Amino acid sequence: MSATIIDGKAFAAKVREQVAEHVARLKAEHGITPGLAVVLVGEDPASQVYVRSKGKQTAEAGMNSFERKLPVETSEADLLAVVQELNADPAVHGILVQLPLPAHVNSDLVINAIDPAKDVDGFHISNVGLLGTGQKSMVPCTPLGCLMLLRDHLGSLSGLNAVVVGRSNIVGKPMAQLLLGDSCTVTIAHSRTKDLAAVCRGADILVAAVGRPEMIPGDWVKPGAVVIDVGINRIERDGKTRLVGDVDFASAVEVAGAITPVPGGVGPMTIACLLANTLTACRRANGLAEPEGLTA
């Protein structure tokens, strides 16, 4: 029996539509337009493509898009000054500093200089702490996207065993916190976990976020489990370059109850959730109710 394929591309399109509807109502009823500022330092090709895509989708949702492109030699002090300027701008509700930053810049210092209420990436230490203690925060986009996909497919997650493979600050740790918030029993596994295969086999929900191509084979998957594959790895096979996840899709799809493909699974949800976070930040800043179904 083949697993249900969770179509992240289609779901992300629905999220963007919902955001656009909320934005249109905000404009019509309150005269407010959410604004997202993206700061790019240097000319990393992958970052440039990503920033262009963010700008395009921000505009399509009816939001204001602000881009600050700075040369690679920009000093840490000058970058911090740009962040402070955006913090003070009432037209900007969300600020995202594109990572990675050049080696001479302290990324943690820059991220923690962003106003936590405008930190739509959810990386500020204050938002990390708020999420970890179950309080209202800005939530990292990729884990939020995973949570939305899980809720859509399963409904209630209460009481399910969830295993998150990977302990990064960007995905693994916040994903675990979100699953705890939805009353899952959560295990964070990693490269040093003893008998990782057995740990994975106990999961009703298996989230793979390790950045190692096809590391998790189908026989690590509990029959009927929901598999969320966060990995995006570029490999060469049969003389061609292709994208694969952290899960061996071909074997896992025969065992799982549902699975996200790579590409077309979690990836499209990240920018959709960035737009959702910007909308949430804007509504909070103006004392308005949060958009239902678009937050954790």
Which are the catalytic amino acids? Answer: 54, 98, 121
Distance, in Å, from the CA atom of 239 to the CA atom of 45, rounded to the nearest integer, reads 23
Neighbours of 290 (CB within 10 A): 14
Asked if residue 222 lies in contact with residue 197, where contact means CB atoms within 8 angstroms, the answer is: no
Widest pairwise Cα distance in the chain: 57
Asked if residue 36 lies in contact with residue 296, where contact means CB atoms within 8 angstroms, the answer is: no
Order the strands of the 161-165 sheet from edge to edge.
4-5, 258-259, 226-229, 205-208, 161-165, 185-189
Helix, strand, or coil (residue 170):
coil
Bridge partner residues of 38 (DSSP): 67, 96
Phi, psi (deg, nearest 5) at residue 206: -120, 115
Tokens of 64: 């204001």
Distance, in Å, from the CA atom of 247 to the CA atom of 256, rounded to the nearest integer, reads 11
Asked if residue 68 lies in contact with residue 82, where contact means CB atoms within 8 angstroms, the answer is: yes
Helix, strand, or coil (residue 293):
coil
Tokens of 277: 């976070």
Order the strands of the 35-41 sheet from edge to edge.
64-70, 35-41, 94-97
User: Which secondary structure element, helix H or strand E, spans residue 234, and what is its range?
Assistant: strand 233-237
